[in-house]
């Protein structure tokens, strides 16, 4: 570990947005397709390089502070400290120059909601260290580093969140192809309609969920097929695989069907086909619920209620699943009425907290140097 003297005292502010994923869930780590976009909700991280050989880290929202000594294994009950430890371990393992830091961060991204709050944290940290310590890594390299840091904390996700955070543009959706990590942009034109994210009130934590089990199960089938990714597999080939359960076979079919929904959703966006886009959202939720089996009772009740309303064109669970948020496309003028109706549902009736987040499609990660 070393730090060049010219970097000491340098201050930056990193903004890392949360994201919605319009469609294409659990496809990133399967070499599939996805259609995410960054939102105006974001994590802000102030970083300053210092001589002291430690990281002084403050989480401003909960008012938590931790001093991470770089050569010790000091423990903390704060869950977010694990991401900083994983970042430090990665940098040392790969002999990247690091040094002392003062870090303060806060966020408007709902925690545990499927809007990549954890990825925003790790992406901001990776991008900030690259800037402060002169790593000179290109965006795609930083994206992979941020993903590896999350893997070090136990979440075996793909690159969807990190690519969304680093590469997004205002009022654009990202069409991502994870078979070769290519991407292009599509205009997000939905006049008269709004993207709204709803809280199921079921908190999720992917580290302790069957998320990693789902990934391993479909990866084993792909290996048996000797295919590079799921876009190179047909439904017939899945049906001909021997020795797998009905549940795993359904999971594999979901991946193929979800990839096709991404292709169709891109076409709907280009044509401003709101009805068609809404139907794809509904079909995606049904597949995540019945085939990939990553939904939850709260997500199903909320998505089911929204999909029964005329003002909602379509809704589906979003993110890794097992709790979190539901994404919907609704008539903008009907939002107050829709919110009132959800407040009447038993699980929401007594609550006074925030239940919905209308989202604006924003820019990707930015870094601002401080004087």
Q: What is the pLDDT of residue 142?
A: 97
H helix intervals, 94-242: 117-133, 139-153, 160-167, 211-225, 235-240
3-state secondary structure of 63: coil
Residue 2 has pLDDT above 70, yes or no: no
Rounded distance between C-alpha atoms, residue 108 and residue 366, angstroms: 16
Residue 3 has pLDDT above 80, yes or no: no
CATH code of the domain covering residue 227: 3.30.70.890
H helix intervals, 60-113: 81-93
Rounded distance between C-alpha atoms, residue 22 and residue 40, angstroms: 15
Element (H or E) spanning 182, and its range?
Answer: strand 182-187
Residue pLDDT, tens place only, 229-251: 999 999 999 999 999 999 999 99
- The answer to whether residue 143 sits within a structural domain is yes
40 closest CA partner among 364, 362, 365: 362
The end-to-end CA distance of the chain, in Å, is 26
Question: Can you tell me the mean pLDDT for 285-311?
Answer: 95
Rounded distance between C-alpha atoms, residue 252 and residue 256, angstroms: 7
- The answer to whether residue 197 sits within a structural domain is yes
3-state secondary structure of 362: coil
Q: What is the pLDDT of residue 201?
A: 83
Residue 46 has pLDDT above 60, yes or no: yes
- The answer to whether residue 370 sits within a structural domain is no
217 and 158 co-located in one domain = no
Question: Which of 187, 220, 251 is where one domain is finished?
Answer: 187
175 and 236 co-located in one domain = no
Residue pLDDT, tens place only, 148-194: 998 877 666 789 999 999 999 999 999 999 999 999 999 998 999 99
201 and 305 co-located in one domain = yes
Q: What is the pLDDT of residue 75?
A: 67
180 and 243 co-located in one domain = no
Q: What is the pLDDT of residue 8?
A: 78
Rounded distance between C-alpha atoms, residue 60 and residue 211, angstroms: 29
Q: What is the pLDDT of residue 215?
A: 86
Beta bridge partners of 14: 45, 367
156 and 249 co-located in one domain = no
Q: Which residues of 321-345 are buried (b: 16+ CB within 10 A; e: fewer)?
A: bbbbbbbbbbbeebbeebeebbeee
Question: Can you tell me the mean pLDDT for 356-370?
Answer: 94
- The answer to whether residue 364 sits within a structural domain is no
Question: Which of 132, 161, 187 is where one domain is finished?
Answer: 187
Domain count, the chain: 2
236 and 345 co-located in one domain = yes
- The answer to whether residue 371 sits within a structural domain is no
Beta bridge partners of 370: 11
293 and 353 co-located in one domain = yes
Residue pLDDT, tens place only, 126-152: 999 999 999 999 999 999 999 999 887
Percentage of residues of the chain with pLDDT beyond 90 = 70
Question: Can you tell me the mean pLDDT for 343-348?
Answer: 84
Task: For the chain, state the CA radius of gyration.
Answer: 21
Tokens found for residue 48: 């300053």
CB 119 within 8 A of CB 146: yes
Rounded distance between C-alpha atoms, residue 81 and residue 66, angstroms: 8
Question: Can you tell me the mean pLDDT for 299-311?
Answer: 95
Question: Which of 172, 187, 202 is where one domain is finished?
Answer: 187
Rounded distance between C-alpha atoms, residue 22 and residue 277, angstroms: 9
Tokens found for residue 86: 């994983």
Q: List active site positions.
A: 161
Cβ-based neighbours of 155, under 8 Å, separated by 6 or more = 118, 206, 207, 211, 212
Q: What is the pLDDT of residue 5?
A: 47
Question: Can you tell me the mean pLDDT for 328-337?
Answer: 96
**Domain enclosing residue 128, as ranges:** 5-187
20 and 149 co-located in one domain = yes
Residue 114 has pLDDT above 80, yes or no: no
- The answer to whether residue 256 sits within a structural domain is yes
CATH code of the domain covering residue 89: 3.30.230.10
Kindly report which listed range (12-16, 20-24, 49-53, 363-367) carries the lowest average pLDDT score. 49-53
38 and 151 co-located in one domain = yes
Q: What is the pLDDT of residue 346?
A: 83
- The answer to whether residue 363 sits within a structural domain is no
294 and 272 co-located in one domain = yes
H helix intervals, the chain: 81-93, 117-133, 139-153, 160-167, 211-225, 235-240, 246-271, 274-290, 297-307, 335-343, 346-349
151 and 213 co-located in one domain = no
148 and 199 co-located in one domain = no
- The answer to whether residue 366 sits within a structural domain is no
CB 206 within 8 A of CB 111: no
Q: How high is the mean pLDDT of the chain?
A: 90
């Amino acid at each position: 570990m070393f730090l060049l003297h010219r970097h000491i005292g340098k201050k930056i502010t990193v903004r890392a947005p949360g994201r919605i994923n319009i469609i294409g869930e659990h496809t990133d780590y399967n070499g599939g397709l996805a259609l995410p976009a960054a939102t105006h909700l974001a994590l802000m991280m102030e970083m300053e390089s210092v001589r002291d050989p430690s990281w002084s880290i403050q989480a401003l929202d909960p008012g938590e502070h931790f001093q991470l000594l770089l050569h010790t294994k000091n423990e903390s009950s704060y869950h977010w400290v694990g991401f900083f430890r994983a970042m430090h371990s990665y940098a040392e393992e790969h002999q990247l120059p690091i040094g002392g830091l003062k870090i303060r961060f806060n966020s408007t991204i709902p925690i545990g909601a499927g809007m990549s709050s954890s990825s925003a944290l790790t992406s901001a940290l990776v991008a900030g260290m690259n800037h402060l310590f002169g790593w000179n890594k290109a965006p795609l390299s930083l994206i992979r580093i941020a993903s590896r840091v999350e893997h070090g904390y136990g979440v075996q996700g793909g690159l969807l969140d990190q690519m969304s955070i680093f590469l997004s543009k205002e009022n654009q959706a990202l069409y991502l192809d994870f078979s070769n990590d290519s991407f292009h942009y599509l205009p997000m034109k939905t006049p008269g309609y709004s993207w709204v994210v709803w809280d199921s009130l079921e908190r999720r934590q992917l580290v302790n969920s069957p998320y990693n089990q789902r990934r391993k199960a479909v990866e084993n089938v792909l290996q048996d097929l000797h295919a590079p990714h799921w876009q190179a597999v047909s439904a017939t080939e899945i049906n001909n695989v021997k020795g797998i359960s009905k549940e795993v076979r359904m999971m594999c079919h979901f991946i193929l069907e979800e990839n096709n929904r991404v292709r169709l959703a891109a076409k709907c966006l280009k044509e401003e086909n709101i009805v068609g886009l809404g139907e794809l959202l509904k079909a995606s939720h049904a597949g995540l619920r019945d085939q990939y089996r990553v939904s939850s009772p709260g997500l199903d009740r909320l998505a089911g209620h929204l999909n029964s309303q005329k003002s909602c064109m379509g809704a589906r669970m979003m993110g890794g699943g097992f709790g979190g948020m539901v994404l919907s496309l609704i008539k903008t003028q009907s939002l107050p009425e829709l919110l009132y109706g959800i407040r009447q549902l038993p699980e929401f009736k007594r609550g006074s907290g925030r239940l919905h987040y209308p989202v604006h499609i924003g820019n990707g990660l930015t870094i601002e140097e401080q004087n």
